[in-house]
Amino acid sequence: MKNRVNMMVVLFSLVISFLAAGCRSGSDTSGPIRIGQTVALTGERTSIGEYLAAGAKMAVDEINAAGGIKGRKVELIQEDSDDTNPAMVNAYNKVLSAKPVAILCNDVSTQNLAIAAIANKEKMPTFVGGTSPVLLQGNDWFFRFRPSDVLAAQASARFAVQTLGKKKVAIAHLTDDFGMAGRNFLTKYVTDFGGTVVSDESYNRLDRDFTAQLENIRKSGAEVIINWADTYTAATMMRQNKQLGINLPLIGSAAHGTPTTSKLAGEAAYGVYVVMDGVVAQVKDPKAEEWVKRFKQRYNKEPEFNATAAYDAIFLIKQAIENANGATDNESIKKGIFAIRGYSGIANIFKYENNGEGPRQVVIAQIQANGPIVKEAVKTE
């Protein structure tokens, strides 16, 4: 029986150390403004998470160097959301316990949905990096900082069918939430713009050989491929499109244009079209170019769109608080966000009005040897 007692001692100590592991005091109206961020610092998506974290940190440091928001310093609280729903929930709750004014969430739509109920219950303004159209349905406290996939799909479909004039479209996509939803919208818009979807092929994140998919695409007589992929699968598709001699024009999702993907794909990326939030490196915008310089100086690597988006998100929160004259309670912040009607971020334009659909622009760029060149910018009202 004594063993039971000792086990309980062990359990107790676990619980006690758990309680002791960090308890933050509540916020007051003159202390620092806390902004939370749940992002993947471990797990498979760290390669994206580190950009989100870097962009946000850079923004917070720059704001503080310039005097903070309405004289108050900003404190960024980052917690690791690993790569699972339960970990994301824990991270979000942990950040919540520090009573921030707003929370930035990572780019995985399913993980964003995992905390939706909590965000709604706590009325916590949450900036989500996911691009799924489902995110804003019924979630009044969600605000996007990356454009919805509907926008990206529409722009890609129109570019393929109307600008490039290729009516027979093959859609290749990931089997995850992003890829499947993307496929649904691409199919709809391709048909709407007058094209036909002659092939629908999918692959999962770990698949590195698309011979089967590409052979089917070849057989279908497609004239263009629209590819909804992540870093690795984008690179694989671009390479094998050339390697297998298929050489069809390719329009890819945002991941096709990042510096990491370019390293993986090498020359196979040249000529590929990418639908991106905004082209950071090549857009003729001195503000963006200067931002890229600052990022490279600070982090010693090329930025990608997730870093820009997170950076913009922090500044959006700043703008919202300023719109609310310094008030930081959730209702005021929400009103402050809705008052953002044309904020020009580094790579996107934001207008919230009365819902969370903030980012209004996507661009179609073509990858060249010295970086992406914008071909078309698509804005929605």
Partner 1 sequence: MKNRLLQKLAWALLLGVLLVLPHLLPNNYYRGVVNLSLIYAIVAMGLNFIYGYTGYISFAQAGFFGVGAYTSALLVVDAHWGFWSALPIAGLAAAACGVAIGIPALKLSSHYLAMATIGFGIIIQMVMQNWERLTHGASGVHDIPSITIGTYNVDSAVGQYYFLLGFLALAMFVTWAIDNSKLGRSFKAVREDEIAASSAGIDLTFTKVFSFALSAFFGGVGGSLYAHTSSYISPDTFSFDQSIVLFTMVLVGGAGTVCGPVIGAIGLTLAPELLRFLKEYYMALVGVGIVLIMIYMPQGVVHLFSQDGRVGRWLQSVKQRSTR
Partner 2 sequence: MLQLLINGLAMGAIYALVALGIVVIANAVNVVNFAQGENLMLGAFVAATLTLTFKLPILAAYVISVIVLAFYGYVFQRLAYYPLRQKPFITIIISTIGVSMFLKNIARIIWGAQPLYFSGLFGEKSIMIGRFAVNPQHLLILGITGVLFLFQHYFFNRTYLGRKMQATAQDQEAAALMGIKVSRMIAFTFIYSSMLAALAGVLLAPVFYVSADMGGMLGLKAFAASIIGGFGSVPGAILGGLFLGIVEILCAAYVSSLYKDAFAFIVLILVLALLPRGLFGEKISTKV
- Which residues form the interface with partner 2 (CB under 8 A)? 42, 44, 46-47, 49-50, 175, 201-204, 206-209, 211-213, 215-216, 231-232, 235, 239, 243-245, 260, 263-264, 266-268, 301
> Please, which residues have CB within 8 angstroms of residue 29's CB and are 6 or more apart in sequence?
328
Q: Least distance from C-beta 27 to partner 2, angstroms?
A: 32
Q: Compute the distance between CA of residue 181 and CA of residue 110 in angstroms, rounded to an integer.
A: 12
Q: Least distance from C-beta 255 to partner 2, angstroms?
A: 12
Q: Least distance from C-beta 278 to partner 1, angstroms?
A: 26
Question: Sign of torsion, CA 131 177 377 37?
Answer: positive
Q: Is 155 exposed, middle or buried (0-12, 13-18, 19+ CB in 10 A)?
A: buried
Asked if residue 8 lies in contact with residue 66, where contact means CB atoms within 8 angstroms, the answer is: no
Q: Compute the distance between CA of residue 103 and CA of residue 167 in angstroms, rounded to an integer.
A: 43
200 contacts partner 1 (rule: CB under 8 A): no
Q: Compute the distance between CA of residue 222 and CA of residue 30 in angstroms, rounded to an integer.
A: 61
Amino acid in position 134: V
- DSSP letter assigned to residue 69: B
365-368: long-range pairs with CB below 8 Å, 24+: 365/257, 365/273, 365/274, 365/276, 365/279, 365/282, 366/271, 366/272, 366/273, 366/274, 367/256, 367/257, 367/262, 367/269, 367/270, 367/271, 367/272, 367/273, 367/274, 368/270, 368/271
4 contacts partner 1 (rule: CB under 8 A): yes
Placement of tokens 């995850």 in the chain: 176
Site track 30-49 with partner 1 (rule: CB under 8 A), x = hit: -----------xxx--x---
Q: Compute the distance between CA of residue 155 and CA of residue 257 in angstroms, rounded to an integer.
A: 16
* Closer to partner 2 by Cβ: residue 154 or 260: 260
380 contacts partner 1 (rule: CB under 8 A): no
* Closer to partner 1 by Cβ: residue 106 or 109: 109
Query: Can you tell me which of 35, 170, 181, 346 binds partner 1, judged by CB under 8 A?
Result: 181
Question: Sign of torsion, CA 181 282 257 162?
Answer: positive
Asked if residue 58 lies in contact with residue 311, where contact means CB atoms within 8 angstroms, the answer is: yes
- What is the DSSP pairing of strand 126-128 with strand 102-105? parallel
Q: Least distance from C-beta 270 to partner 2, angstroms?
A: 13
Q: Is 11 exposed, middle or buried (0-12, 13-18, 19+ CB in 10 A)?
A: exposed
Binding partner selected for residue 4 from partner 2, partner 1, none, CB under the kind-specific 5 to 8 Å limit? partner 1
Binding partner selected for residue 16 from partner 2, partner 1, none, CB under the kind-specific 5 to 8 Å limit? none
206 contacts partner 1 (rule: CB under 8 A): no
Query: Can you tell me which of 1, 65, 66, 369 binds partner 1, judged by CB under 8 A?
Result: 1
Binding partner selected for residue 341 from partner 2, partner 1, none, CB under the kind-specific 5 to 8 Å limit? none
* Closer to partner 2 by Cβ: residue 112 or 236: 236
Q: Tell me the residue length of the chain.
A: 381
Binding partner selected for residue 221 from partner 2, partner 1, none, CB under the kind-specific 5 to 8 Å limit? none
7 contacts partner 1 (rule: CB under 8 A): yes
Q: Least distance from C-beta 102 to partner 1, angstroms?
A: 17
Amino acid in position 145: F
Query: Can you tell me which of 17, 30, 297, 300 binds partner 1, judged by CB under 8 A?
Result: 17
Q: Least distance from C-beta 118 to partner 1, angstroms?
A: 8
27 contacts partner 1 (rule: CB under 8 A): no
Q: 64-123: which residues touch partner 1 (CB under 8 A)? A: 79-80, 82, 84-87, 89-90, 93-94, 96-97, 109-110, 113-114, 116-118
Q: Compute the distance between CA of residue 13 and CA of residue 222 in angstroms, rounded to an integer.
A: 64
* Closer to partner 1 by Cβ: residue 115 or 346: 115
Task: Give the footprint of partner 1 on this chain (CB under 8 A).
Answer: 1-8, 10-12, 14-15, 17-19, 21-23, 41-43, 46, 79-80, 82, 84-87, 89-90, 93-94, 96-97, 109-110, 113-114, 116-118, 132, 134, 138, 175-177, 179-181
